[in-house]
Amino acid sequence: MSQTSPVSKRPDLPAVHPGMGGRGVLQRFADVLPVTDATPDITLGEGDTPLVRSVRLEKETGCQALYFKLESCNPSGSFKDRGMVVAVAKAVERGDRAVLCASTGNTSASAAAYASRCGLEAYVIVPHGRVAEGKLAQAVAHGAHIIAIEGGFDDALRLAREVTARHPIALVNSVNPHRIEGQKTAAFEIVDALDDAPDMLCLPVGNAGNITAYWRGFVECYQRESAKKKPLMWGFQAAGAAPIVSGEPVPDPQTVATAIRIGNPASWQRAIEARDESGGDIQSVTDEQILNAYRRLAQEEGIFCEPASAAGVAGLLQQAASVDLAGKTVVCVITGTGLKDPERALAEFAFELNPVPPELATVEREMGLA
Ligand SMILES: *Cc1c(COP(=O)(O)O)cnc(C)c1O
């Protein structure tokens, strides 16, 4: 392990796509992941996502530098791919023939993608009517077996645990430790890009696997001195689904941000540890704040994310009202792409299409040029 870069160099492994990037998380980070000689080297080109600087919101928050980590650029469109590639590789290594997850959508899209690539069956349990269309389309396209239950995510996860306790099927939710290991690599990339950890990391919190993973990644960077500091972890839950904020499970969580519509997070305790050990905070933001950040990211930063991803940015704007961010470097994690949920976009950005004749004069008039 080099002191300055967490990126692994494995001369023993051939480049997957020479000169075209796409080495993937398992190769790049082999020496800090549970990779053995028996782990298959699979990738869809996950990881190595852009860290782009804010052009407008930065000034408003008063921080020195604001960056967005575009996890929406992962192959299935969310950060879940970083952990899923490790979880599925380990399932193949163990000889499992099938994977199962409970999902608000993105976990199932990612599991289905990697399972199809490895020739495994994928089973997904989803809360009926609460999964964004794009995510369902992905699971269907990859040939996953979809079980829709009349219940919420928390019921789905309970059932997934029960099934995998009785059958030789790998559970690939973030309760699978390999998921967390894979997801921590996003923290390594941020440290690599900034040459240190940021002062604050803002992200949405649902089942709380990701805040757990980032914290582990930053702690590891600090321990091996590739970072001089550790960030404050600022996690944000939707107001109608904020069990960690209120201190008790939410029986019927409600929010437009379906990816974080979770009332009893599996990694609750570890999220609290990340919060407290980092000196950070976990707060709630309303759906109105979330949708406001969703619109502003799209129209002022050029970033089209899904509503859950906007919760981290909504949270930063909320914090900026009371915390002095002068001199601070902040990273917001954009967890998933807006293409997942086109219905939400069309509802949010009111528009009407009135077809006109294909004539220059008419088009100019429509454009306000005539
Ligand atoms: C899964 C997910 C989250 C929540 O992450 P947790 O690890 O469950 O806290 C947030 N945003 C998106 C887009 C997700 O897919």
pLDDT tens sequence across 260-278: 999 999 999 999 999 999 9
CA of 175 to the centre of ligand 1 (A): 13
d(CA 318, CA 283): 9
Enter the tokens of residue 127.
Answer: 């809360």
Q: What is the pLDDT of residues 139-156, one digit of tens each?
A: 999 999 999 999 999 999
Please say whether the beta carbons of 242 and 284 come within 8 A.
yes
Q: How far apart are CA 131 and CA 216, in angstroms?
A: 29
Nearest Cα residue to atom 15 of ligand 1: 106
CA distance linking residue 82 with residue 85, whole number of Å: 6
Ligand 1: residue of 260, 264, 285, 290 to mutate (most ligand atoms within 8 A of CB) is 260
Residue whose CA lies nearest to ligand 1 atom number 4: 206
Measuring CA to CA, which residue among 262, 269, 187 is closest to residue 221? 187
Contact 90, 187 (CB under 8 A): no
Here the tokens at position 345 are 């976009």
Task: Give the separation between CA 84 and CA 287, rounded to whole angstroms.
Answer: 29
**Cα–ligand 1 centroid distance for 87 (angstroms):** 16
H/E stretch holding 9: none
Which residue carries 């609290």 as its tokens? 272
pLDDT of 23 reads 87
How many other C-beta atoms can be found within 10 angstroms of the C-beta atom of residue 369? 8
Please give all residues whose beta carbon lies within 6 A of any atom in ligand 1, as ranges: 78, 80, 106, 174, 204-210, 259-260, 306, 308-309, 335-336
Model confidence pLDDT, tens digit, residues 168-203: 999 999 999 999 999 999 999 999 999 999 999 999
Is the dihedral angle over the CA atoms 325, 207, 293, 299 positive or is it negative?
A: positive
CA 369 / ligand 1 centre spacing (Å) = 44
CA distances from 183 to 121, 295, 322, 351, 357 (A): 23, 27, 31, 37, 51
| Whole-angstrom distance, CA of residue 141 vs CA of residue 121 | 13
Query: In the predicted model, is pLDDT for residue 21 greater than 80?
Result: no
Report the alpha-carbon distance of residue 298 to residue 321 in Å, rounded.
Answer: 22
pTM for the predicted model, two decimal places = 0.93
The pairing of strands 65-70 and 51-53 is antiparallel
Alpha-carbon distances, residue 118 vs 37, 93, 185 (angstroms): 17, 11, 22
> Taking 70 as the threshold, does the pLDDT of residue 15 lie above it?
no
DSSP string covering 94-115: HT--EEEEE-SSHHHHHHHHHH
pLDDT of residue 121: 97
What distance in angstroms lies between residue 250's CA and the mean position of ligand 1's atoms? 17
- Residue 207 Cα to ligand 1 midpoint, Å, equals 7
Q: What's the rounded mean pLDDT across residues 157-167?
A: 96
> Is residue 221 over pLDDT 50?
yes
3-state secondary structure of 236: strand
